[in-house]
């Protein structure tokens, strides 16, 4: 029970990595707010946690909307009495070469990853400062916070940006006991990745199996995908770490794809 009675807001938690984090946090005793664009799926995940004896609510939230973030965070506080952990995880991927990149799609991706991180961070910080019991903010970065890949310009740009944001939160939050860190996963088989495989195959004129072997897992030490549980364990470690000794850091969980 490493998160007993902590309140954790996880964005994008109706699917993939965020869902796995929500399930693990609930098993570790946290009260979990599943904040997602997809309210029905968020409520289904909350019900799944409730069915196992955990505590969770689903909240409809577009992280790019100032009003929806404010309302969702206020609902979280009203229901569970504060916020101890924020996992800013909601994200999308759009694949195209830079010379072909649609401006609206560029802006949409940056907005979800960066405006979403900012808006949820600001709301969480206000509550953490007010509550006076510190907190932990975790950003879902990527190996693409450290490394580039062709066809992913806005994603690589946004994921690098999250490291900068985490460092500022670490500096500003320290006197309030608020820590901020970034998890940088390698490829995890979630709907986000399953959608990219045929897109990349088409863009590059190669087979889907070749996309997996020669692009996604090429640089790993063992040709293995990272799992959502691997990432959730890292998110648990950051959430449960009890001092400012570990702040402003980024942790790569990628089967050695990127080594620093």
Q: In the complex, what is the shortest distance from the CB of residue 37 to ligand NAD, in angstroms, rounded to a whole number?
A: 4
In Å, how far are 21, 106, 140, 221 from 95, measured between CA atoms?
26, 10, 19, 25
The verdict on 94 binding ligand NAD (CB under 6 A) reads: no
Residue 168 backbone phi and psi in degrees, to 5: -70, -45
Q: In the complex, what is the shortest distance from the CB of residue 4 to ligand NAD, in angstroms, rounded to a whole number?
A: 26
**Among the listed residues 18, 154, 161, 248, the single contact to ligand NAD using CB under 6 A:** 18
Of the ranges 9-17, 117-125, 201-209, 235-243, which one interacts with ligand NAD (CB under 6 A)? Answer: 9-17
Of the ranges 44-52, 84-92, 172-180, 206-214, which one interacts with ligand NAD (CB under 6 A)? Answer: 84-92
What is d(CA 55, CA 245) in angstroms, rounded to the nearest whole number? 30
Of the candidates 25, 129, 139, 155, the residue annotated as catalytic is 155
Q: In the complex, what is the shortest distance from the CB of residue 253 to ligand NAD, in angstroms, rounded to a whole number?
A: 9
155 an active-site residue? yes
Smaller CB separation from ligand NAD, 128 or 252: 252
The verdict on 212 binding ligand NAD (CB under 6 A) reads: no
Query: In 3D, which of 158, 159, 179 has the Cα closest to residue 168?
Result: 179
**Among the listed residues 142, 181, 200, 220, the single contact to ligand NAD using CB under 6 A:** 142
The verdict on 21 binding ligand NAD (CB under 6 A) reads: no
The verdict on 26 binding ligand NAD (CB under 6 A) reads: no
Of the ranges 33-41, 120-128, 167-175, 204-212, which one interacts with ligand NAD (CB under 6 A)? Answer: 33-41
* Contact status, residue 30 vs residue 9, Cβ threshold 8 Å: no
Interaction pattern, residues 230-259, with ligand NAD; x per rule: CB under 6 A: ------------------------------
Query: In 3D, which of 231, 240, 226, 183 has the Cα closest to residue 19?
Result: 231
Interaction pattern, residues 150-189, with ligand NAD; x per rule: CB under 6 A: -----------------------------------x-xx-
The verdict on 15 binding ligand NAD (CB under 6 A) reads: yes
The verdict on 63 binding ligand NAD (CB under 6 A) reads: yes
Kindly list the residues in this chain that would bind ligand NAD in the complex (CB under 6 A). Answer: 11-12, 14-18, 36-38, 61-64, 89-92, 112, 140, 142, 185, 187-188, 190-193
Residues with a catalytic annotation lie at 155
């Amino acid at each position: 029970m490493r998160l007993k009675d902590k309140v954790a807001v996880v964005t994008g938690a109706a699917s993939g990595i965020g869902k796995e984090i929500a399930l693990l946090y609930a098993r570790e005793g946290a009260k979990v707010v599943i904040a997602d664009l997809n309210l029905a799926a968020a409520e289904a995940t909350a019900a799944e946690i409730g069915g196992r004896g955990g505590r969770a609510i689903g909240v409809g939230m577009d992280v790019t909307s100032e009003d929806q973030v404010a309302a969702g965070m206020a609902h979280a506080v009203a229901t569970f009495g504060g916020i101890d952990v924020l996992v800013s995880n909601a994200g999308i991927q759009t694949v195209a070469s830079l010379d072909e990149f649609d401006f609206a799609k560029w802006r949409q991706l940056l907005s979800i990853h960066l405006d979403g991180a900012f808006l949820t961070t600001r709301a969480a910080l206000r509550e953490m400062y007010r509550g006076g019991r510190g907190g932990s903010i975790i950003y879902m970065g990527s190996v693409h916070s450290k490394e580039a890949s062709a066809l992913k310009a806005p994603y690589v740009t946004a994921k690098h940006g999250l490291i900068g944001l985490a460092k500022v939160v670490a500096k500003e939050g320290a006197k309030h006991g608020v820590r901020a860190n970034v998890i940088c996963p390698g490829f995890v088989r979630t709907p986000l990745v399953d959608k990219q495989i045929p897109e990349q195959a088409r863009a590059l004129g190669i087979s889907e199996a070749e996309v997996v072997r020669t692009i996604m897992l090429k640089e790993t030490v063992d040709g293995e995908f990272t799992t959502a549980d691997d990432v959730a364990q890292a998110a648990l470690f950051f959430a449960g770490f009890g001092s400012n000794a570990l702040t402003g850091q980024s942790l790569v969980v990628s089967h050695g794809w990127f080594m620093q």
